[in-house]
Amino acid sequence: MLAVMLLISIVLGLIPLAGIAWIAVSGTLTTVDGLFESLIMLSLSAVFFLNAFWELRGQNKPPGPGKPGSSSDQS
């Protein structure tokens, strides 16, 4: 499940970057519309890449102790 979320986050982070590349290739990057579109797409991309980063960072974290009073440590 973690690998699927990671893959989806990376793909959805790359799509806005491709949109920015298209805006740059078409030559509308220097217009007001192109600048705002690029800013919005960079924000979207940053959110998805940050999600992927947090998923990878949380994967290496050791599990913490159980909640006090849980039924698993009482016998």
Structural domain boundaries in the chain: 9-57
End-to-end CA distance of the chain: 32
Residue 20: its pLDDT value, please? 96
Average pLDDT, the chain: 87
**Each residue's pLDDT tens digit, 13-26:** 999 999 999 999 99
pLDDT band at 33 (very low <50, low <70, confident <90, very high): very high
- Among 19, 11, 8, 10, which residue's Cα sits nearest to residue 42? 19
Report d(CA 8, CA 5) in Å as an integer.
5
Residue 69: its pLDDT value, please? 62
Report d(CA 45, CA 24) in Å as an integer.
16
